[in-house]
Structure 1
Amino acid sequence: MPSPQTVPAAATAVRFLYAAGAGLPSAGPEAAGAALPEAEARVIRAALVRQGADQAQAEALLSELAAGAAAAAEVIAAGEASPLSAEAYDAARAAWLTAHGMSARSGLRTWPPTSQTVRALLGAQYWNDAMTAVGLPASGRGRQRGNTRFSAADYAEAMHDFLAAAGSSAPFAAYAPWAKGEASAGRPRPSGAAVRKQFGSWSAAKAAGAPR
């Protein structure tokens, strides 16, 4: 089954959520009749169905995504785009998922991807580089190079994904091997010690990562 965490799908997510957050109308010449490339549409369609959409809903959502991404592309091409912060992206993502009755599910990588995944796929772990890759201006708020700190959302997502992979009763000792495997796959995660420090205890960390 194809993963929704691909570079084209992530780029579409950024453009679409930028358009949604900015309230861009999806009726311009580029947006009218817009469609995603079939390979990309297939990946996103499969993710939407896994997240609870039926086939008809998935097709309607794909049209919505394509129109929104095209509307953003128009603004970008005109040089009129404004910066999009990781926080604004995640807020728009959460609002869209909620509006469509979707949420992160245990064991599944949800589309649209989180800002952390966007950073990894498009910006080599740097948000501003990811935005530049899709044509948006840098926000000036991305982490500085060499700064390896993770956001609160990154910690919560790490625990959510860890518990989805290892089970709700997984011990602290199981986290480090999992995080090492994630890093090898291009998804850096906070260390076990950092996670425990962030939440105060391993039990609290697991509570924060419980399925949403």
Structure 2
Amino acid sequence: MTPPPMITDRDRDVIERYADGATLQEIADGINLTRERVRQIVRKHGGADAETSRAARQAAKEAGEQRAQIEFLAEYEAIASNLAHQGFTRAETVSRISVLYPSIDVDVADEALRASNIVFDQNNDTDVFSNVALEAGVWFLLGSELRLKPDYAWAAVNLPQELLDELGTHLSEASVTPDELATVLGIIGAAQNAAMSDPTLTITGARYNELRSELLDAIGLKSATGTKPWPPTRQTLQKRYQGWSDALEAMGLATASLGRPKGLLAFSEDDYANAVIDFISAAAAAGAEPTFAFYGEWVKEQAADGTRRPSPASVRNFYDGWLPALRKANAVVAARSAEANLSVE
């Protein structure tokens, strides 16, 4: 029987390194041998075959990548989570972190965040929600901030059906119950109703995002990674309206800006104000709420009687919304009443 060949320390090291996944060329370069000579040593002493070595090499690579990802999350997960709450995408988050921490491996960072439980914003986020759903998020968080009780009656009469349908779809995906959905809609209604009588109501973008984060964490309004939880992020609103103040202005909430001038077109500013004022009086006389839909019916009746009024769409466009139109009309009535009282005195 032929005894097994003697193995030197060098050859033993070659065999062990190859079994652990090192390539023939890597081993050869390290000990100043040719690749072919290393292969002969492995074969001579019955070392691992090529497939086994490749598998070990792949396993070592994956283990190294996993360690790097774990180390990245241990160091930067809190920052990434904060950015996600602010509405940044995963790519934007990686970019921001890599600028401030240039030593990180961008690929490791991206894979670590992809595998994490952090829910990031999507690039197509502005297409997920309609305008009314975007604005409803602001109304809801504003109402929550003010601790308003749900106004179910006002919501039932004034909230558009498209909002009820859309929020029903979005929130059902987040396992929100019908009672919870009703509460959300009631708070939206309460906030809108409150804004009609208080023109100073507003909310900052920073506070909006804080409340949104608290809401997502507290009551579980979360969707799976890659989907969009409602309420939307501040960045989503800013993208749609070209700025936070513009979003508030479109909703009729107070802002620090003066706003954009509106074209008068076929009607003067007084025409718009008088139309809404007269409509509010007509609605009160009929015992009805001054809703946008009812205004459309009233305009048709006025036209049949020979009186031309601004269309519902033009009123909403002129005032950047129906609620702002009602608030403006009430303010004009109050101002005229004050002037009348002064003249009497």
For 1:117, give the aligned amino acid.
T
1:82 aligns with 2:205: no
What do the CA deviations read for 1:15-34 (whole angstroms, capped 9, x no partner)? Answer: 11101012223359635x56
SS in 1 for 2:253: coil
Which of 212, 217, 222 is the equivalent residue of 1:93? 212
Cα offset for 1:65?
1.9
Identity value in percent: 23
**Are the counterparts in 2 of residues 83 and 137 from structure 1 also a CA contact under 8 Å?**
yes
Which of 1, 14, 22 is the equivalent residue of 2:138? 14
Q: Which residue of 2 aligns with 1:136?
A: 253
Q: Which residue of 2 aligns with 1:51?
A: 174
Q: Which residue of 1 aligns with 2:244?
A: 127
SS in 1 for 2:227: coil
What do the CA deviations read for 1:102-126 (whole angstroms, capped 9, x no partner)? Answer: 33531101111001111223x22x1
Q: Which residue of 2 aligns with 1:23?
A: 147
Change (3 A) 1:27 1:132: same
Q: CA RMSD in A?
A: 2.4
Change (3 A) 1:98 1:139: farther
What do the CA deviations read for 1:60-114 (whole angstroms, capped 9, x no partner)? Answer: 2321122111111122111344321111111111222223223353110111100
SS in 1 for 2:154: coil
**Are the counterparts in 1 of residues 151 and 189 from structure 2 also a CA contact under 8 Å?**
no
- Measure the CA separation in 1 of the matches of 2:149 and 2:159: 18
Which protein has the larger Cα radius of gyration, Structure 1 or Structure 2?
A: 2
For 1:137, give the aligned amino acid.
A
What stretches of structure 1 of length at least 5 have no aligned partner?
Answer: 141-212
**Are the counterparts in 1 of residues 151 and 187 from structure 2 also a CA contact under 8 Å?**
no
SS in 2 for 1:30: helix
| Alignment length (residue pairs) | 131
SS in 2 for 1:95: helix
1:72 aligns with 2:191: yes
Q: With the length of structure 1 as denominator, give the TM-score of the two structures.
A: 0.54
What stretches of structure 2 of length at least 5 have no aligned partner?
Answer: 1-126, 258-345
